[in-house]
Amino acid sequence: MTTQRYLIALGSNLRHARHGTPRAVLAAARLALVQAGLEIEIASPTLQSAPVGPSLRRYANAAVLVRTALEPQLLLGLLKTIEHRFGRRPGGMRWRARVLDLDVILWSGGEYASRNLIIPHPLFRDRDFVLIPAATIAPNWRDPRTGLSIRQLARRPRPHSLTGPLPRPRGHRVRRHAGPLAQSVEQLTFNQ
């Protein structure tokens, strides 16, 4: 079997009875990915972001770069199983609060489309909460649609870009980076 590489975005904005805060949910989700047989090459820091849509709760967001022999549709099935184990139920309102969201963003095979999966993820180019964590772990990975790297996409102005600094949880610092991502990175709260 051929090894595939995927960029997966992780998000949570609800507490879990066993795992705790959304940040802890993402840590448990990374462990669940490994236990399911995925090899995590690298994981981004966890950041906190404002909600999109009707949800009022802030999100914990991260990204992981994984290796697996699974084809895209089988990987999607595995991710949906993990989400279900964390309490996510299918259906309901789009962009509502959720315990765990796992999205396939990019795939080493390029583009892919089926009834329930499109790679690259159709909305990732406009989302700081995907691009900023992704740029920390895979800055040179190119979007097969635009030919731009994740670093380049993260530098571009976006319609839904963050506009102000986020509040910091106690005991955490904002990591300040020099360079082109500085403006966006300074607006996000990273787990140190």
Q: Return the domain boundaries, the chain.
A: 4-190
Number of helices and strands (H, E) in the chain?
A: 5, 8
Global pTM reads 0.79
Please say whether the beta carbons of 131 and 57 come within 8 A: no
pLDDT tops 50 at residue 102: yes
How much is the pLDDT for 57? Answer: 73
pLDDT tops 70 at residue 184: no
Architecture of domain 4-190: 2-Layer Sandwich (3.30)
Rounded CA-CA distance 35/33 in Å is 5
How much is the pLDDT for 148? Answer: 96
How much is the pLDDT for 154? Answer: 92
What digits encode the pLDDT tens for the residues 31-68?
999 999 999 999 999 998 876 766 667 789 999 999 99
Please say whether the beta carbons of 140 and 149 come within 8 A: yes
